[in-house]
Amino acid sequence: MPQRRHLLITCLLVAASAAPLRAQVIQGYVFDDETGHPMVGAEIIVLNHRDEPRVRGFSDTSGGFVIDVHQEGDYKLRVTHIGYEAFLSRDMWVPAGETVDIRVRLGVNAIPLEPLVVLARMTPEEAHLGAFNRRRLNPGRVGGHFLTRDEVASRPNATPTQLLLTVPGVTLQRVNNSAAFSLDRSIIRFPGGIGGGCRASVYVDGSPVSQSESSTIDDMLDQSLIGGVEVYARATEAPVEYQRNMGCGVVLYWTRRPRGGKRVPGPVRWIAGTGVIVGLFIAVFSAVVG
């Protein structure tokens, strides 16, 4: 049903009885066209014959307003209210010292409100972990176990794989630990596959990482660098871009990024462990040759 707009103008040519000079006044009321209730806070702008704004006012609690236009002439009224269609009257003559009475009815819901856009700066770390946090906070997500930076930091002595010991379905296969190497190293596994278990598909910052006895995630990533971890016991629960190995679960490690956006340093633990092994090899070789 089209919105109705009504304008009732009653020119009250009131005789000048008291003082020879009186103000030129436009007064009236603003109502909701659907309910008939008075509208509070409607803005009334008086335009001159060139459609230039001259005076403005607002309707009170009764919907009423009184505006002094200062001099006689042709005027228009523009009446607006949030959520209502703007109303523009036709030309009306306001004689010197007289009052023009007007009633305006505004149609509802004619003008949608503009959306409020709030811009905020994110730190490089927040931007880097954006996808991780969107998935973690998504109320409609299915599956997935998430470890935040605070949860990781609460276990400072745990290796990257040991962080997953409390995650349902995850098992760790310990590999090649020696007193000299002094690092706990494990391969992440999930139920399923041949032999009742399979190696997880592991990613660091979105890049695939191969798990083997000679190269584990514990060798490549220091626990202090981890900003978040996602664990999906079934590959079909993981984000689509990480469902390459449909036969096993998926683990996504996300590193922290300091302010300024520089990438977190590389495999510190792997370098340290390799240095120990090389040193032992040289020592043994020197002893045999000597």
Where does a domain end: 79, 106, 133? 106
pLDDT at 70: 85
Would 111 be classed as within a structural domain? no
Domain count, the chain: 2
Q: Do 44 and 84 touch, CB atoms closer than 8 A?
A: no
Query: pLDDT band at residue 82, thresholds of 50, 70 and 90?
Result: confident
pLDDT at 140: 76
Q: What residue type is assigned to position 150 of the chain?
A: D
Please report the DSSP string for 141-166 in residue order: --S-EEEEHHHHHT-TT--TTGGGTT
- Which residues, 6+ apart, have CB-to-CB distance to 142 below 8 Å? 237
Would 131 be classed as within a structural domain? yes
Q: 26 with 165, same domain? A: no
Would 220 be classed as within a structural domain? yes
Q: Do 283 and 257 touch, CB atoms closer than 8 A?
A: no
Q: 148 with 194, same domain? A: yes
- Whether residue 23 is predicted with pLDDT greater than 80 in this model: the reply is no
Would 142 be classed as within a structural domain? yes
Would 279 be classed as within a structural domain? yes
Would 218 be classed as within a structural domain? yes
pLDDT at 284: 52
Rounded CA gap, 73 and 52, in Å? Answer: 13
Q: 139 with 231, same domain? A: yes
Q: 166 with 260, same domain? A: yes
Where does a domain end: 72, 106, 140? 106
Q: Is 237 helix (H, G, I), strand (E, B) or coil?
A: helix
Would 150 be classed as within a structural domain? yes
Q: 72 with 184, same domain? A: no
- Whether residue 143 is predicted with pLDDT greater than 50 in this model: the reply is yes
Q: Residue 56: give its domain's CATH number.
A: 2.60.40.10
Q: 142 with 49, same domain? A: no
Instruction: Compute CA distances 72 → 23, 24, 102, 113, 124, whole Å.
Output: 9, 6, 16, 36, 64
For the segment 66-87, the average pLDDT, to the nearest whole number, is 89
pTM above threshold 0.85: no
Where does a domain end: 106, 139, 174? 106
pLDDT in tens, 47-75: 998 889 999 899 998 889 999 888 888 99
Q: 129 with 260, same domain? A: yes
Would 115 be classed as within a structural domain? no
Structural domain boundaries, residue 236: 124-283
Q: 143 with 237, same domain? A: yes
pLDDT in tens, 144-192: 999 999 999 999 999 999 999 989 989 999 987 654 445 689 999 998 6
Residue ranges of alpha helices (H) inside 68-178 are: 124-128, 130-137, 149-153
Query: pLDDT band at residue 248, thresholds of 50, 70 and 90?
Result: confident
Q: 172 with 250, same domain? A: yes
Q: 88 with 132, same domain? A: no
Q: 165 with 260, same domain? A: yes
Q: 129 with 201, same domain? A: yes
Q: Residue 201: give its domain's CATH number.
A: 2.170.130.10
